[in-house]
Amino acid sequence: MDTPPPKMDTPPPKAVYFHFRFKFLAITSIAFLIYLLTSTAELQEFTSSFQFQLMGPFFMLSGLFFLIFRRVPIRCPYCNKLMSTKKDWTCCECGKSQGKLRHLIDKCVHCRQVQATGQCEHCNSTYRL
């Protein structure tokens, strides 16, 4: 099941933009925070402002999106079939399987590496996450 490391002259595997979802969420959250912190000058003013009241719902929504994003299946860029983001995946760094169902956003239980690539269970293609 081991795939050889990609050589310099081979094109990189196609991406499924899995990590991009979370980057997008993080950037949106930071942008919103900056907007909140720069919109009112005084703290006293800030805590009674409309923006402050938005913070609770906003962070609840962000948390909800995070939970949804880690569950939304990814589509294989090669065979177009949907793959679950929660499975017993094999680590792209140490090559060991996780031994239980885990989300692809989680770190490897053996080497604590964030997964950069994954493998399609339908067509065995390697893709970037």
State the residues that interact with Zn ion by CB under 5 A. 76, 78-79, 91, 93-94, 108, 110-111, 120, 122-123, 125
Nearest to 23 by CA among 96, 84, 105, 97: 105
Nearest to 18 by CA among 98, 115, 102, 92: 115
**Residue 61 or 123 having the CB closest to Zn ion:** 123
User: Least distance from C-beta 91 to Zn ion, angstroms?
Assistant: 3
User: Least distance from C-beta 3 to Zn ion, angstroms?
Assistant: 14
**Residue 49 or 125 having the CB closest to Zn ion:** 125
SS3 content of the chain, % helix, strand, coil (to 5): 40, 15, 45
**Residue 84 or 125 having the CB closest to Zn ion:** 125
- Token pair 């995946």 is found at 89
User: Least distance from C-beta 102 to Zn ion, angstroms?
Assistant: 11
